[in-house]
Structures are given as structure tokens and as C-alpha cells.
Amino acid sequence: MKYLFLFSFLLATHATTVAQPVTVNIDYTANIPNPEGKFIFYNSGELLNIAAFAGEADNNSSAVAITSSGFAFKAGFKSAEGKAILNIKVYCSFDKQMSWMKPNGKNEYILQHEQQHFNISYLGAIDFMQQLKAATFTTDNYNKLIQTLYNQSSKFMEDLQQTYDSETHNGIIKDRQQYWKEKINKKLASTSSETNLSAWKRI
């Protein structure tokens, strides 16, 4: 199972009387300040381990494990030499203190199920980056448009998380779990080899 957290930061304001086009730079980053080591930032090829699930288990929950993951962004706007530039950094993270496993959930099979939840969060981040790349930003619309696209990709991610749990019955149906593992990993492999985000298509 999963627990989903979503958060974002938009670090820019701008006022103008005439809308101007905006140059947008979009990057994925795992280089986010993490002084207390609370988060694991998604890096392709790096997998979760059981020790990462450091939160206190909810004994009132029927779940044997919970993954707290999601994606977010930081954005900064600047105007230089008559050009409007918007820099957006997108990242995906796993909250160790909000994620937990019960003793009977501490095994490789459950860990693999939870890893796919983290992977789906990353797919949401990539979807968000694609939506940003396809959008047309101006000095009038960029603030609202970023949030709209973030909300759309968040819903895409959340729907995918729910479908994954529903179809696998939270990992209980092993053949469906294997199907989803292969499906998600195939999509991850295709995105990791794409240098042009315009090649991305929703799963």
C-alpha cells in the first residue's frame, strides 16, 4: 500500500503590464538539502531497502507497509537583458519517517511492491516535466499555469497509484504484481534513455 504526500514551492513573483514570452529551463534534480536525512531523493537505479521504512507502524491499519512519496518543484523567475527566464527544478522524494513496515511486511516481496509506489511517484515527476515542456508560458500566466500543470500531473500520479493497488490487491495477487512491476520498469527504462522529454507519453 501507499500513503501519498504532495507539496510544492513556487519561489517567484512578477508583475507586468504587457505579457511577454518566457524562456523555461526544466531539470530533474536529486540534489536537495536534506540536513536531517529525513528524505530519500529518487535516483534512477537506486532502490529502497527495508531500513528506509523508519516510521512507527500503525497497528490499527490493515496495511503491512506504507510508502510516503511524491514529487515537488522549486521555481525561480528572473528578468535579464530584456528576457524573462523561468528555472524549474523537479524532484521526487520518499519520507522515511512517514513510511513504515510491520514485522510481517519486512520481506523482499513487500519491499518490491513498495518500491513500485516510489517509482510511480517518479513517473508523476516526469509527466509533470513533460507538461511543463509542452506549455507556453508568459509573464502573465506562468505562476498559475505551473500550479495547474502540477495539479494535473499529481492527479495522474495518484490515479496510477490507486489503480496499481487496486489491480494487484495491494500486492496480494502475485501475477498482477509481476505484470505491474514489468510495466512500470519498462516505462522507467524508456524515460531514462530519453534525452528529449517530448518523447514521453503517459503510461
Q: Is the pLDDT of residue 7 over 50?
A: no
CB 126 within 8 A of CB 191: yes
Q: Is the pLDDT of residue 11 over 60?
A: no
DSSP alpha helices (H): ranges in the chain? 108-134, 142-168, 174-192
Average model confidence (pLDDT) for the chain? 88
Percent residues over pLDDT 70 in the chain: 85
Higher-confidence position of 34 and 7: 34
CA 89/CA 72 separation, integer angstroms = 9
Which tens digits make up the pLDDT trace of 49-58?
A: 999 999 999 9
CA 78/CA 103 separation, integer angstroms = 50
Q: What is the mean pLDDT of residues 162-177?
A: 97
Tell me the CA distances in angstroms from 127 to 36, 176, 197, one per residue in order: 29, 24, 9
SS3 assignment, position 86 = strand
Q: Is the pLDDT of residue 46 over 70?
A: yes
Q: Is the pLDDT of residue 62 over 90?
A: yes
Q: Helices 108-134 and 174-192 sit at what angle, rounded to 10 degrees?
A: 40
Percent residues over pLDDT 90 in the chain: 77
Closest to 130 measured CA to CA, from 200, 190, 192 = 200
Strand partners, 93: 41, 70
Parallel/antiparallel/unpaired status of strands 100-101 and 83-95: unpaired
Residue 13: pLDDT band by 50, 70, 90 thresholds? very low
Q: How many residues does the chain have?
A: 203
Which tens digits make up the pLDDT trace of 69-124?
A: 999 999 998 887 888 999 999 999 999 999 999 999 999 999 999 999 999 999 99
Residue 12: pLDDT band by 50, 70, 90 thresholds? very low
CA 154/CA 137 separation, integer angstroms = 20
pLDDT reported for residue 59: 94
CA 16/CA 132 separation, integer angstroms = 22
